[in-house]
Amino acid sequence: MRTYTRGAPTVFFISLLWPLLWPLLVGEVDPSGGIPFMGGNYDGHPMLYFSHGDVEEMQAAAAGTHRDMARRIREAGETMLEHPEEYLPPWSPAEFSARWNEVYGNNLGVLSMFCLLYPHRAGALDLARDYMERMAAQPSWLVKDAPWDEVPLAHSLVGFATAYDFLYEYLSKGQQERFLQVIGNASRLMYEKSYVRGWGFQYLHNHQPTNCVALLTGSLVYMTQGYLQEAYLWTKQVLDIMEKSMVLLQDVTDGSLYEGVAYGTYTTRSLFQYMFLVQRHFAISHFDHPWLFKHFAFLYRTILPGFQRTVAIADSNYNWFYGPESQLVFLDRYAMRNGSGNWLADLIHQNRVTEGPGQAGKGQRWCTLHTEFIWYDPGLIPKPPADFGTSQLHHFEDWGVVTYGSALPADTNRSFLSFKSGKLGGRAIFDIVHRNKYKDWIKGWRNFNAGHEHPDQNTFTFAPNGVPFITEALYGPKYTFLNNAVLFGPAVSGSCFKPWAGQVTEACDSKWLKYKVGLAADAQGRVEAAMERQGMVFIRGEGQSAYSPDLKIKSFQRNLLLLHPQLLVLVDHIHLDTDSSTRAMSAFFHNTELPFQETKVDGVHGAFVSHGGDAYKMFWMDDTGFSDKGAVGYWNYPRGYPYNGSNFVNVTMPLKYPHTRVAYIFFGPGVDVQSFSLRGDAQRVDIYLATKERTYTIYLLTGEVTSKPLFAMVLADRKKIVFEKAGAVVDSSPEEVEEYVNVVEDNLQHAKPVFQQMERHILGRVLNTASFRKTAERLLQFSDKKKTGEIIERMFAMSKKQGKGKGGKKINFGDKLSESLPDIFAQIEVSEKKERQRTTKRMYEDNPEEGEGDGDSRAFVDYADSRKNRKGAFVKGRKYKEVHMVATAGSEDLSSTASYIRLFLMLNIVTFFLLLAVLLTRFQRGRSLHTQRCFYAILLIDSLILLYLYSSCSRTQC
């Protein structure tokens, strides 16, 4: 019997424990990102991003590991000290609200960090207090001409609340109380507006995280000061909105944001603050979110050579609205952990434009310096991605954008190419709307806002040698011709510029893109191919669905062939239906800075721009050899846009049935084009191009059914490059997140235990003091008024009985009093839900069209709290974990506990394997079966202890 079973228990125990030991050996990802969970245990202010005990360490870091960031913070602070009249908010409410005023809130955050790092700098604290007094004196932080837009209010609130938290101990008692009242009033207004404004239910739009983080910041400060009931409602509203966004963001598989890079940084400025704050204060972790790991590419793959500009798709400036250094160090510390974020942040800062086009806006340049300082991890050595230094092709499959040659040093033959052809709002949003996904939350386009997008399907940009030759037209009117796109004529139905018809999303009488209803709601383009072969790039897009079906265009195919870093060939293929009345196309090409000039060579018309003494040229011709003269000019934007306008070339060509091909060549000063011609048939178009160094023959197959499975083939002297159809882009869409409602509900349950812990702490602090009654009234502020007095009297009587428990052990009267209270959070949730349902119903009956506008007040949050006890609960059939609160004075004790558990765990692992080794080497032979059984029993007990320690370590994230 011994012979056959001797080794079985050993194998059994090793197999049992191997899954537990493996994560310890390879290293386990910390879902908290290393951010300690406070658990409602605060020692006053500061508390938002760090505790009072961390300030001294931060001041030391400012002189050491963080000195570069601290230097920028100090420069900002010194600039404000030198010119206070330029940076202080005005006292006059009329002047404060006369224009877009986000600058005041944006600058206050960095000023308060400056004061915290350098508290002995003469005049700094006085300036900050004066700054806050001026803001507190305003009756409203809204802009007079845009009272419906809470974004300026959000910037002021988040800056003011952050400064209040950072500088609390430097404020007088009167200032603490008055400034808290200002924070409460602003937060209360934001909360009310979250039910009736689009940012409360239009997901993944930049306004949503901006306003929600402002409300969350205000609510956390208010919570710390003991106003628990209101702060709880505000927090739950923010969590309900933003946690839905985090679920929907899982459908965005490429890390992009549909509003483009500039507005993307606007979104992530607040989105990353949200991720940090909810982990620190509510143990809600998003640091394993798949989108987060892909987002670095959105910043890295969109930078033009020289690291000063980005691809300016959608409403945009030349690069980034906010950061992106802060966002990059955040990604590095909490997601990537490879040094690439720190590296790119350093490189962007080194190449920053300080004057002229591309310089950071005065209202935004300092806004993220304090979060960059907080999130920076000096232990991550800056390291470029493995492919840095070579031109790479990247396809953002959700965004519908292809880039090539990004993030390179500015140099000869370091060129950048981009192409856009995608679904309105990006694939994720478009498919959510059209496939009725997440139907518990989403009711069509009213839950999204594509207003900042452009009518830009099948558009491109080209920067040979890094010089912007063909550019986007930045933040301007939503007209098709202000993009590098095509119009068709004559227009059959309504259009903005008859007789020409642009894309169906262009807006004739609005500053925002048309997207909600009609043909615009279904507009889309498609990237059909994006591939690189032997240093050449081929991209194909289909844009027919972006135009009115009345034009009866069967196909609008745009093909790009990058033959050389300074030589691009673009071919438009237009296939008309038999009964189409469309007779002409009009293509536009833009440069926001350099004017185009006309040129002509051997009867072929063209245009060029001059840059640094070099000419960057373009020529065009159709498949009959016809080349018409183009129109060059400048389009002035109307008032109200941040840019004056754009230079353009307009090329108009006749169309014939069934198809027309028009070819354009673009080249830099390093290429000398000597001849250019093309001819075509039903299946393909052949292009002959000769430069001084090389001859190119291009066979472009444009038909739906082709004789060979190819997109294109290029003969360059004796080299053949083939772009096969097997490499075509395959369109797919992710599945709906499983149990998405429960995922959000689980995270919402993290809030109440924190507030209950705060309730216990507050009661414990004021026991048997003169302020007890006042504190109890504050806690019960929104409870049933009839019962409030009775409850307070009972609590007050209990507080006088505090003494010693049995055995001399002191009773925690904070806990006991808290248990005697009614569930103040459940009460206010129920009453708030009833009130919202009542007011929402009344508002909808009074204004039934409201559902189509920005003020859809039907999108209210359901505050159903289905928890029945403290051991666990069920939400719609699925058990979720209780959020455990640590009854400690602060997060340091939690960290200490985790350290001890980790130590015991490691010691127990060593003991286990030592016993196992003794059993295998000493007791396998010559020992009685009874002795071996005793050792196996010891091993079994030790393994159970090991399992217990491992589970404890997992719970405390050690």
Q: Give catalytic residue positions.
A: 207, 263, 475
Are 519 and 512 a contacting pair, CB within 8 Å?
A: no
Of the candidates 807, 805, 819, the residue with the CA atom closest to the CA atom of residue 764: 819
The neighbouring-strand residues paired with 576 are 553
Of the candidates 335, 251, 336, the residue with the CA atom closest to the CA atom of residue 286: 335
Of the candidates 511, 540, 546, 544, the residue with the CA atom closest to the CA atom of residue 528: 540
**Three-class SS state of 43:** coil
From residue 545, how far is each of 119, 425, 435, 503, 556 by CA, in Å?
Answer: 60, 14, 17, 9, 9
**Three-class SS state of 679:** strand
Q: What's 360's DSSP letter?
A: P
CA distance 932 to 843: 78
What stretch of H or E contains 419? strand 416-420
**Three-class SS state of 393:** strand
CA distance 793 to 584: 84
Strand pairing of 695-701 and 710-716? antiparallel
Q: Whose structure tokens read 């239009």? A: 202
**Three-class SS state of 209:** helix
Distant-in-sequence, close-in-space partners of 585: CB < 8 Å, separation ≥ 6:
486, 487, 488, 489, 572, 574, 652, 653, 655, 660, 662
Give the CB-side neighbour count of residue 494, counting CA atoms within 13 A. Answer: 7
φ/ψ of residue 522, rounded to 5: -110, 10
Are 361 and 317 a contacting pair, CB within 8 Å?
A: yes
CA angle 736, 742, 748 (to 5 degrees): 125
Own/partner pairs, 858-867, CB within 8 angstroms, 24+ separation: 859/195, 859/200, 859/201, 859/447, 860/195, 860/836, 861/236, 861/237, 861/240, 861/241, 861/836, 862/833, 863/236, 863/829, 863/830, 863/832, 863/833, 864/833, 865/752, 865/825, 865/826, 865/829, 867/749, 867/752
**Three-class SS state of 746:** helix
The first and second tokens of residue 807, run together, are 């055995």
Computed on alpha carbons and rounded to an integer, the radius of gyration of the chain in Å comes to: 32
What stretch of H or E contains 660? strand 659-667
Of the candidates 408, 401, 404, 409, the residue with the CA atom closest to the CA atom of residue 392: 404
**In the chain, what's the furthest Cα-to-Cα distance?**
106
* DSSP per-residue string spanning 272-337: HHHHHHHHHHH----TT-HHHHHHHHHHHTTBPTTSS-B---SS--SS-SS-SHHHHHHHIIIII-
Length of the chain: 958
The first and second tokens of residue 740, run together, are 């998405």
Are 377 and 333 a contacting pair, CB within 8 Å?
A: yes
What is the distance in angstroms between the CA of the first residue and the CA of the last residue of the chain? Answer: 44
Own/partner pairs, 781-785, CB within 8 angstroms, 24+ separation: 781/227, 781/229, 781/230, 782/229, 782/230, 782/824, 782/827, 782/828, 782/831, 783/229, 783/822, 783/824, 783/827, 783/828, 784/827
